[in-house]
Structure 1
């Protein structure tokens, strides 16, 4: 909100919450019914019928800009402002679609109030020309002075400061304003639309074309990366005064008292309010190259819908943990787009960047393998996935990356021997491949309640499970395995790394009386039923167990809180809450900070667990509360 909110700051339908979209339902139903039931094509009001599809297209238009902007900013090329974007800005800009709803209501009202508001023709040349002239000569001029007025202390503190709270702009920052401010903007933008409609020169081209132009230019000016090439202004020099650039408007958000124009800088040039550093910033942004990371976290898609929960997806979803047990109702209506994204992921066939962070001297990036969780278990996909991961390792080597940590199913014994395959194939690798098992094991060991004397270990065994079981046995804690094959594997691993002394604390049991369970993938409901009331389930797998017992406690997958100095963190990692990262991801960051000159990959290669844990704490990462569960989010 603004620093001292004025009247009409809140949107009138805010109390409706998620049901705010229903305010358009009567209009949409009526216009659709009237269009479908008319037998004579000449009586069908196409222009009114198209209002709702146009509103949906506007949402898609804005979302394309959001995804493009976040993708480009993650790569770093042509970035304008380097400051951090945080969760508070994402929350503040969550209602960016309110202005589309407001615009839709106004469209429908016009069709009922004005005599020329219905059955609008597709094209009227005189109306198009009139709209262009009115925008350039009236709307731009009035907006310039309105914008300057909004920067007066009285109006700025009550309204416009809400918009300027976002120093690092995103496309949807352009429409983040209090309701009263939006009313004034729609009054201005309505001048060309209402004038052409009343004069009988209106057309669908003017109505839909003009609003699309406003959306395009708004998104362009707030995208925070420069994309207007210099030759654009060499070909037609007057464009300098008729079209702004992202650099132009970015300066308004950082300097505040310059570059007030809407889309045409001509009035800033006339009244002498152009920022003097404009040319330098524009040149510098255009020359800025793609940012080279120091540490890369290599993850993958989990479900076809998971793309929406990533930073380049929907801001509202990306800023909250992904609940895999339920799906947002509106995502069901997006199945064509979901199917298209799945198809493009398969065609693209290489990793892509989704996040970029700054942590003191390190630049961090997250790369995504375009494969889903189910594909990792398909025999026909294993070769393709292995090649994609190897290609990512070689790309990281070429870019000079110091550390690449393997996340989720990109590191398993079956697929690549916890990354060891790539190290053996390329023995001269300078980039250090990290599977993060040591830190994951350390997080689990420090999550076990003090005073625990026995635990039960079940589920598909992993490198982390072996390391944790061995460390617990060394401490004198009894580790019970309920399955013969798992027990034999654990016992053999103990003998391979030490004497048989530790095996005395490893037992085979068919009794499920232990109150602390270490669980991995493969634990089923039948096993959960056997657990005593109040049992604590601590997962050692990358994916959390499916909760079944309401009288038990389910801990989060190995993860830690990130320090405040880790910048530009405004999306959640899968099911983890805000500002929490998985241990496998943090392990790569710590490896890069410490400058450790060895790989941490392969089944028998595990770094000193205590050493990794202490280094992680030293760099500001903090353990989650002992009773913390992902279910609490």
Structure 2
């Protein structure tokens, strides 16, 4: 929102929320019905194609969003090296409003037959395409330049344009984040080539749809925060610098504000003396910038088929919220299936996001495999191969620590990461499974004064450590299943096992739960029971009369930069304990692996974590079921 919002700031359909797409429904139904019912000679193909074209525009923008986030995650050729925040992601989440506006106007114009020559548009007219190019290069670019300069006058800037400039670090969709009134003026400007070709009888579907696609492409290009225009392009044709801007050119407008006003052609900045003096220098610097070498790598993987949309590289609005299943995801199941096949075939780990904590450079890498594949015996070798390659790549890049997230550390897969240390005994990068951190988080979530707890779930390294530590603290540990009790009892000495018992009373009010907790057991728990997960994945929340903690996690320090997406199902600015463990390991400079059946000192890890600004996520989350 602008600092002093002016009239027509809000979009007309703002109150509709996610139902705003219904604005287009009457137009889409009418155009489809007319095309089906009318004779072939009277069918208006261009009107029918408006809706598919709007879908193409949304896909086009999403491609730019994903590519830009992938490029900036690697760090090479990035222009502005500052972090994004959740506030910017929220502010820019309505980037599709301008597409709805354009679609509504296009439909209204064709149905009302206001524009001559647009009732039955041909696919191509050469003279119309040339005219559209000339009208853009002349009137549109010229008028935009002066309108843009006017928007930087303090009166209009404070009421309108400051909303756009709230984003110093731009993303492709930043290009269309403006108040409603501003977009109306832009539409009038960009309509000049279309109106001209309409009134001269030279309009075509190519001149209309192609021109709008060109605007989208150049807008996304200028705001992607990644310099991708090769220098040789300007060497081959030097005058091109007057007719085509670069991402670094427009980035300077967002950091300097009073320079580089041009739309897509810097010509008018050269003519009127508003070209930023550092334009060429920033362009050269950005092209030479190399990919960032991380100090800490967190290795994760995809979970459910739709989880790819919740990655930072996916849908920005979904990535900025905890992962929950959405009913409308089934509408794009063909695309989901395509991505599943793509990741199935793609055999290389990819960079998901990049952060900075003090001087520590952090990256998250993802294995292109889904959770279900980790339970397939015939996929174990290939997954281990990918993890091993990632470890060696991190080693070659100078990383200090690599932490294993989710199922990348499963006992059945690699014995909590021990397999890789055995294969490469001289590894300088420290492999961390984060078990001690997970145990510390769970122990500090148990309410004070608790005298007995239930431990239920698959017996893992974390479960062993929890049971042992609680018994040492003279807290009764109740096991509900005999096989789990036997496994734990065998690992204990005679003193600690006295606090370990097998019972099916379900009377305890504090449950530590892992994978394998079934619905029947959960329903037998007492009213008011507190469920505290110790596993990587959360249990299904069935009870409205009980409380549920998140999986082991910590709130990050406020000075952790570039954190604008949620880690799986965790709240904003919260990281899993396994991910935090790797960061703390590097901050403390600990020179040993934490994998296999070895664990770090739990209290030492906990105190170090608090000392570095991480805070407990203390309040349990209530079930939404």
TM-score, length of structure 2 as denominator length: 0.99
Question: 2:620 matched to 1:628?
Answer: yes
The one of 419, 425, 446 aligned to 2:417 = 419
Structure 2 SS opposite 1:545: coil
Question: 2:252 matched to 1:260?
Answer: no
Pairwise mapping of residues 556-575 of structure 1 onto structure 2 (< 5 A)? 556-575=550-569
Between the aligned partners of 2:308 and 2:272, the Cα distance in structure 1 is: 46
Show the counterpart of 1:555.
549
Show the counterpart of 2:535.
541
Question: 2:498 matched to 1:504?
Answer: yes
* Cα pair 2:547 2:623 within 8 Å, conserved: no
Note the C-alpha offset of 1:632: 7.1
Select between 553-562 and 214-223 the one with higher mean Cα deviation: 553-562
Pairwise mapping of residues 320-359 of structure 1 onto structure 2 (< 5 A)? 320-323=321-324, 326-329=325-328, 331-359=329-357
Q: Which digits, 9 at most, give the CA deviation of each residue in 1:99-151, with x for residues without a partner?
A: 00000011112212223221111111111111111100100000000000000
Structure 2 SS opposite 1:22: helix
Show the counterpart of 1:88.
87
Over 6 Å off, 4+ runs = none
Note the C-alpha offset of 1:629: 1.6
Show the counterpart of 1:601.
595
Show the counterpart of 2:17.
17
Between the aligned partners of 2:215 and 2:589, the Cα distance in structure 1 is: 49
* Cα pair 1:577 1:630 within 8 Å, conserved: no
* Cα pair 2:543 2:623 within 8 Å, conserved: no
Q: Which digits, 9 at most, give the CA deviation of each residue in 1:379-438, with x for residues without a partner?
A: 121111111111111111111111000000111111101000000010000000000000
Between the aligned partners of 1:249 and 1:487, the Cα distance in structure 2 is: 64
Show the counterpart of 1:428.
426
Between the aligned partners of 1:431 and 1:328, the Cα distance in structure 2 is: 42
Structure 2 SS opposite 1:58: helix
* Cα pair 1:34 1:44 within 8 Å, conserved: yes
Select between 115-124 and 172-181 the one with higher mean Cα deviation: 115-124
Change (3 A) 1:345 1:630: farther
Select between 428-437 and 369-378 the one with higher mean Cα deviation: 369-378
Structure 2 SS opposite 1:567: coil
Structure 1 runs not aligned, ≥5 long: none
Show the counterpart of 1:487.
485
Show the counterpart of 1:65.
64
Pairwise mapping of residues 135-154 of structure 1 onto structure 2 (< 5 A)? 135-154=136-155
* Cα pair 1:575 1:630 within 8 Å, conserved: no
Show the counterpart of 1:106.
105
Between the aligned partners of 1:148 and 1:529, the Cα distance in structure 2 is: 65
Show the counterpart of 1:185.
186
Note the C-alpha offset of 1:630: 6.8
Show the counterpart of 1:579.
573
* Cα pair 1:220 1:245 within 8 Å, conserved: yes
Select between 484-493 and 561-570 the one with higher mean Cα deviation: 484-493
Show the counterpart of 2:297.
296
Q: Which digits, 9 at most, give the CA deviation of each residue in 1:208-253, with x for residues without a partner?
A: 0000000000000000010000001111111100000000000000
Structure 2 SS opposite 1:296: strand
Pairwise mapping of residues 189-208 of structure 1 onto structure 2 (< 5 A)? 189-208=190-209
Show the counterpart of 2:4.
4
* Cα pair 1:576 1:630 within 8 Å, conserved: no
Between the aligned partners of 1:632 and 1:34, the Cα distance in structure 2 is: 45
RMSD over equivalenced CA pairs, Å:
1.1
Structure 2 runs not aligned, ≥5 long: none
Q: Which digits, 9 at most, give the CA deviation of each residue in 1:614-633, with x for residues without a partner?
A: 000000000012x3227479
Question: How many residues matched?
Answer: 623
Note the C-alpha offset of 1:337: 1.6
* Cα pair 2:542 2:623 within 8 Å, conserved: no
Between the aligned partners of 2:624 and 2:589, the Cα distance in structure 1 is: 36
Between the aligned partners of 1:217 and 1:382, the Cα distance in structure 2 is: 44
Structure 1 SS opposite 2:2: coil
Q: Which digits, 9 at most, give the CA deviation of each residue in 1:424-462, with x for residues without a partner?
A: 010000000000000100000000000000011111111
